[in-house]
Structure 1
Amino acid sequence: MPAVSAGADGKETRKAAAGFAAAPAISYRECKGCGRMNAVEALPEGSAARCDRCNTVLRNARRNPVNRTLAFALSALALFSVATFTPLLTMSISGQQITADLTTGSLQLDKQGFWVLGVLVGLTTILAPAARLATSCYVLMALRMTRPPMHLAPVFRWAARLKPWSMIEVYLLAIFVAYAKLVDMAQVEVGIAVIAFAGVMIAMIAADLALDPDVVWEAIDRRERAAALLPQDRPGKGAIGCECCGFVSTPAPGSHAAACPRCGSPLHRRKSDSIARAWALAIAAIVLYIPANLYPVMTVVSLGRGAPDTIMSGVIELAHAGMWPLALLVFFASITVPVLKLLALIYLLVTTQLGSAKHLRRRTVIYRLVEGIGRWSMIDIFMLSILVGLVRLGNLATIEPGIGAISFAGVVILTMFAAECFDPRLMWDAAEAAHPTRSPTKAPEQPSPGSAHTSSTA
Structure 2
Amino acid sequence: MPLTECPECGLLQRHPPPPPSGQIECSRCGAVLHRDRPDSLNRTLALTLAGLLLFSIANSFPFIAFNLHGNITHTTLLTGVINLYSSGQWGIAAVVLFTSVLAPGLQLILLLTVLIPLAFDRMPCWLPKLFRLVRTLAPWGMMDVFMLGILVSVVKLADMASIVPGASLFAFAVLIFVLAAAHAALDPDLVWSRVPMPRLHRATVRSGDAHLTCDRCELVIPLIAVRHLGTHRHCPRCDSTLHRRKPDSLQRTWALLLAAILCYIPSNLLPIMTLTSFGRTQSDTILSGVSFLLTHGMWPLALIVFIASVVVPLLKILFLILLLLSVQFRWNQWHPRERTWLYRLIETAGRWSMVDVYVVTILVALVQVGHIAHVEAEAGAVFFCAVVVLTMLAAFAFDPRLIWDRYHGQ
TM-score normalised by structure 2 residue count: 0.95
Number of the residue aligned with 2:103: 128
Residue deviations 1:171-197 (CA, integer Å, cap 9, x gap): 111111111111110011112222111
1:251 deviation in Å?
Answer: 3.3
* Residue of structure 2 equivalent to 1:144: 119
Q: Distance in 1 between matches of 2:140 and 2:207?
A: 34
1:101 maps onto 2:101 in alignment: no
- Runs of at least 5 residues in structure 2 that lack an aligned partner in the other structure: none
CA drift at 1:304: 3.4
- In 1, Cα distance between equivalents of 2:205 and 2:22: 23
Cα distance in 2 for partners of 1:414, 1:212 equals 30
Using the TM superposition, give the Cα deviation of residue 113 of structure 1 relative to its aligned residue in structure 2, in angstroms: 0.8
Deviation at 1:307, TM superposition (A): 1.1
Distance in 1 separating the partners of 2:97 and 2:105 = 11
Alignment of 1:171-210 (within 5 A): 171-210=146-185
Cα pair distance change 1:302/1:138, threshold 3 Å: same
The aligned runs of 1:36-435 (5 Å cut-off) are: 36-145=11-120, 147-219=122-194, 221-222=195-196, 230=202, 232=204, 234=206, 237-252=209-224, 256-356=231-331, 357-433=333-409
The offset of 1:125, in angstroms, is 0.6
Deviation string, structure 1 residues 19-43 (Cα, Å, up to 9, x no partner): xxxxxxx101111111111112233
In structure 2, the residue corresponding to 1:52 is in which secondary structure? coil
Secondary structure of 1:300's partner?
strand
Paired AA for residue 378 in structure 1? M
Aligned counterparts of 2:203 and 2:362: Cα–Cα separation in 1 = 49
The answer to whether the 8 A contact 2:205-2:221 is kept is no
In 2, Cα distance between equivalents of 1:370 and 1:129 = 22
- Does structure 2 retain, via aligned residues, the 8 Å contact 1:79–1:199? yes
The separation in 2 between residues aligned to 1:314 and 1:296, in whole angstroms, is: 10
What amino acid is aligned across from residue 372 of structure 2 in structure 1? L
Report the count of equivalent residues: 406
SS state of the match for residue 41, structure 1?
coil
1:211 to partner: Cα distance: 1.4
- Native 8 Å contact 1:297 1:401 kept in 2: yes
- Contact 2:227 2:233 (8 Å CA) reproduced: no
Change (3 A) 1:234 1:128: same
Residues 351, 147 of structure 1: alpha-carbon distance in 2 compared, 3 angstrom cutoff: closer
Q: Given that residues 201 and 221 in structure 2 are in contact (C-alpha distance below 8 angstroms), is that contact kept between their aligned partners in structure 1?
A: no
What is the TM-score normalised by the length of structure 1?
A: 0.85
C-alpha distance after superposition, 1:25-77 (max 9, x if no partner) = x1011111111111122333322222111111111121111111111122112
Percent pairwise identity: 42
Q: What is the Cα-based RMSD across aligned positions, in Å?
A: 1.8
Range that drifts further, 260-269 or 242-251: 242-251
Distance 2:402 2:313 in 1: 23
Letter in 1 for 2:353: S
Local SS of the residue matching 1:162: helix
Cα–Cα, structure 1 residues 282 and 399, in superposed 2: closer, same or farther, change >3 Å? same
- Aligned mates of 2:279, 2:311 — CA distance in 1: 34
Paired residues of 1:298 and 1:405 also in contact (CA < 8 A): yes
Paired residues of 1:50 and 1:59 also in contact (CA < 8 A)? yes
Give yes or no for contact 1:172–1:194 (8 Å, CA) kept in 2.
no
SS at match of 1:102: coil
Q: Which amino acid in 2 is paired with 1:329? A: I
